[in-house]
Amino acid sequence: MVIGYMKAAPTSYVMQFEGGQVVREGAGLSFFYWKPSATLVSVPLSSVDVPFAFNEITRDFQAVTLQGQLTYRVADARKLSSLLDYSLGPSGRYRSEDPEKLPERLVQVAQVRARTVVQGMALREVLVGAQTIEAQVLASLSAAEPIRALGVEVMAFSLLSAKPTPEMARALEADAREGLQRQADEAIYARRNAAVEQERRIKESELATELAVQERQRQIREAKMAGDIAVEEQRSALMERWAQNEKQAADARAYALEKTLAPVRGVDWKTLMATSASGGDPALNIALAFREMAENAHRIGELNVSPDLLNSLMNSGAKPPRDTPRNATQGPARER
């Protein structure tokens, strides 16, 4: 059958060539064509995701593997079809392998741009700077002349992972683990220091409180001692005043007694006793008699005192002289 029918999908840009000229083109066309003289070209317009894996060297000469995907779409189908063969054969398949080479070309261009970015970064920066790498590579691809010449638009450059060599990964993990351990130790030390500082503040507060209490107690003791000293001073003044008063009273009594005894200071006591006895006091007379006998005891042999005399002396309240002879006995007085 020499007449064919073409029905393209909305995401396919179809061009019909007759005698080297484009007679029909557009996206999603459907038409009949004469097979012996027609050439059909179909360029897919949908976006395509191309995975990639790049092995690159960082600025510090460390190997790193970048894995991700590149997303692109055909922006100018006529320009692309002029550079690559997208013509369809009788079976509806592409006549050449050019459509399969387009992703490889784009990945190669992306790898060159990614290498330029990675070589300007250290390994640690590459491992944690995925967004930076993506932004720089995408900007470089958007401005790349080889891609613009193909009529292709790079929509996204996604970096899914960046992995160092296993040995370097273990070294970085150990370093990071040690760093985290140091941070944990520093946090523990900081917490201990904070606890010690808080304990020191508490101790200082307790000591300050104790000092304040001791100072207050000292003030109380000083006030009490001052009060006791004032009381003792008042008591001393009172005793001194009392002693002065007693001394003055004693001086007054001594002066009065001296003045009283002055007239009789040179008079014999016998005369005084006799003068006193002239008043008629019988007890006094008896006392004088006993006094006389005491003085003349060496001349008295025996002395008898009757019970009646003793009774009268006791009833009258008179007391015999203290120096009454102890060897006096009852009986009539006899003088030798």
What per-residue confidence (pLDDT) applies to 274? 63
User: What are the pLDDT digits (tens) for 63-99?
Assistant: 999 999 999 999 999 999 889 999 998 888 899 998 9
Question: Are residues 275 and 323 both part of a single domain?
Answer: yes
What per-residue confidence (pLDDT) applies to 172? 85
Domain boundary among 117, 148, 164: 164
User: What are the pLDDT digits (tens) for 131-188?
Assistant: 999 999 999 998 899 899 999 999 999 999 999 999 998 988 888 888 888 899 999 9
Residue 151: phi and psi, rounded to 5, are 75, 25
Residue 202 pLDDT > 60: yes
What per-residue confidence (pLDDT) applies to 283? 64
Residue 247 pLDDT > 70: yes
Question: Are residues 51 and 141 both part of a single domain?
Answer: yes
Mean pLDDT, the chain, as a whole number?
84
Domain boundary among 164, 189, 204: 164
Question: Are residues 40 and 141 both part of a single domain?
Answer: no
Cβ atoms of 61 and 119 closer than 8 Å? no
What per-residue confidence (pLDDT) applies to 334? 40
Residue 178 lies in a domain: no
Residue 254 lies in a domain: no
Question: Are residues 148 and 93 both part of a single domain?
Answer: yes
What domain count does the chain have? 3
Question: Are residues 160 and 54 both part of a single domain?
Answer: yes
Helix (H, G, I), strand (E, B) or coil at 162: strand
DSSP structure string for 196-214: HHHHHHHHHHHHHHHHHHH
Segment 237-242 mean pLDDT: 90
Residue 36 belongs to what domain range? 1-45
Pairing assessment for the beta strands 21-27 and 12-18 based on DSSP bridges: antiparallel
Question: Are residues 6 and 101 both part of a single domain?
Answer: no
